[in-house]
Amino acid sequence: MPELIGIARLAAESPSLLGKKRVEYMSLTTRSYLTRCNNPRMPFRWMINPYRGCEFGCKYCYARYTHEFMELRDADAFEKKIFVKSFGPRRFLGELRKLPVGESIAIGTATDPYQPAEALYGVTRAMWEQFARTAGFRIGLVTKSNLVTRDAGVIASASRRHAVTIVVTITTLARDLAGALEPLAPRPELRLRAIRTLARAGIRVSVNLAPVLPLINDSEASLDAVAKAAAEAGAVSLGANVVYLKDCAKSIFFPFLEAQFPALAGRYQERFRNNAFLRGAYPEMIRERVGRIRRKYGLDSSREAAEPELWPRDPQLTLFS
Ligand code: SF4
């Protein structure tokens, strides 16, 4: 077996924290909490993932490839071996202080920061506590979990010093469909309740209708129902993306389709055989449909909130605690 290096070696040396029936939690040493995003199409410059892997195990999840970097290549390792990044508040604060004002940071680009591990280890909450000691960033956090409401107080504090948006993903209001697609994620009505709680706490909330899955959750009625319920709960913006399927996602999603949606399996396989993305008329139709629904409910498309009053103007004054 070749010698492991980098993150694969760190993962192999990670001590186990807890073994549950289905999932094992491991402690992972990390060199830096902030990772620079070099993809110019992404609307943020920095990424933070407090965990590696995600217990929610969504069938379409594109982030499974991140376990391959650790030489964990079983298709379901991503949802069964969860790495908890060992957190040092001073070190995290030190990294934040090196960033200039106005930088954009996305939390949860390859994991759900409020998955069940967060209830035990609290890494995401510990990060918010440090954000509340700094100022001037654009911060977006994406989650499917109502556990985020536990931190409404500290997120509201951070929102007074940064432009914060909490993005709650809801792919469908149909409970059975959500349960099939996102087996261990909280039910859609709990996510809606989370939107309401956060909005009432004065936090800007966006609803994320992603992924849009052809012939599964893409009807006007289905998308409209999510947008309507989210707007009524207090979301101010709506994002949506058509599904994309990397090979790591196909290895879970295609067998799932064959079992649950056999009539669609062949069409998906044909369309995604050589591409991770769908191109052409379909994404254009969804863009138009979502735009119409956004206008209907007065939802914004932007991911950024207005600049907070406390935003430091002096370029010499980077961050303060
Ligand atoms: S919640 Fe997000 S990161 Fe977790 S399994 Fe689902 S899609 Fe993947």
Residue 219 lies in a domain: yes
Contact indicator for 165, 211 with CB cutoff of 8 Å = no
Residue 282 lies in a domain: yes
**Is residue 146 a contact partner of residue 185, using CB atoms and an 8 Å limit?**
no
Q: What is Dmax (Cα atoms) for the chain?
A: 61
- Distance separating the N- and C-terminal Cα atoms of the chain: 48
Query: Quick one: average pLDDT of 177-184?
Result: 97
| Average pLDDT, rounded, for the chain | 91
Q: Domain for residue 41, yes or no?
A: yes
Tokens of 311: 């935003």
Let me know how many helices (H) and strands (E) the chain has, helices first. Answer: 13, 11
pLDDT value at residue 292:
97
Q: At a CB cut-off of 8 Å and minimum separation 6, what does 170 contact?
A: 144, 188, 191, 192, 207, 208, 209, 226, 229, 230
Both tokens assigned to 75 = 């298709």
**b/e code 58-79 from CB counts within 10 Å (16+ = b):** bbbbbbbebbeebbbeeeebbb
Q: Which residue has the tokens 């957190």?
A: 87
Distance CA 278, CA 276 (A): 7
Confirm whether 314 is domain-assigned: no
The DSSP 8-state label assigned to residue 136 in this structure reads -
| Structure-model confidence comparison of residues 207 and 5, the more confident one | 207
**Computed over its alpha carbons, how large is the radius of gyration of the chain?**
20
151 found inside a domain: yes
Residue 230 belongs to some domain of the structure: yes
pLDDT in tens, 185-231: 999 999 999 999 999 999 999 999 999 999 999 999 999 999 999 99
Q: Which residue puts its alpha carbon closest to atom 8 of ligand 1?
A: 61
User: What is the DSSP secondary-structure string of 81-101?
Assistant: EEEEEP--HHHHHHHHHTSPT
Residue 126 is inside which H or E element, if any? helix 123-131
Pocket lining: 170 vs ligand 1, CB cutoff 6 Å: no
One-letter amino acid identity for 267? R
Amino acid at 32: S
| Ligand 1 site, residue 144, Cβ cutoff 6 A | yes
Please indicate whether residue 10 or residue 118 has the higher confidence score (pLDDT).
Answer: 118
Question: Residue 34: which region, alpha, beta or left (left: phi > 0; alpha: psi -120 to 50)?
Answer: beta
305 belongs to a structural domain = no
29: domain range?
6-297
For residue range 149-167, list pLDDT tens digits in order.
999 999 999 999 999 999 9
The 10s digit of each residue's pLDDT in 33-44 is 999 999 888 888
Q: What is the pLDDT of residue 302?
A: 66
Residue scoring higher pLDDT (223 or 16): 223
Contact 28, 13 (CB under 8 A): no
CA 185–ligand 1 middle distance (angstroms): 8
Tokens coding 80 = 């069964």
Count how many domains the chain has: 1
pLDDT digits (tens, 9 = 90+) for 241-282: 999 999 989 999 999 999 999 999 999 999 999 999 999 999
Phi, then psi, of 156 in degrees rounded to 5 = -60, -40
| Residue 320 included in any domain | no
**Does ligand 1 come within 6 angstroms of the Cβ of 85?**
no
Centroid of ligand 1 to alpha carbon of 314 (angstroms)? 39
pLDDT in tens, 45-73: 999 999 999 999 999 999 988 877 777 77
pLDDT for res 304: 54
pLDDT for res 318 = 35
Question: The domain spanning residue 110 has which CATH number?
Answer: 3.80.30.30
With a 6 Å cutoff on the Cβ, whether 171 touches ligand 1 is no
172 token code pair? 């469908």
Place of tokens 């859609």: 188
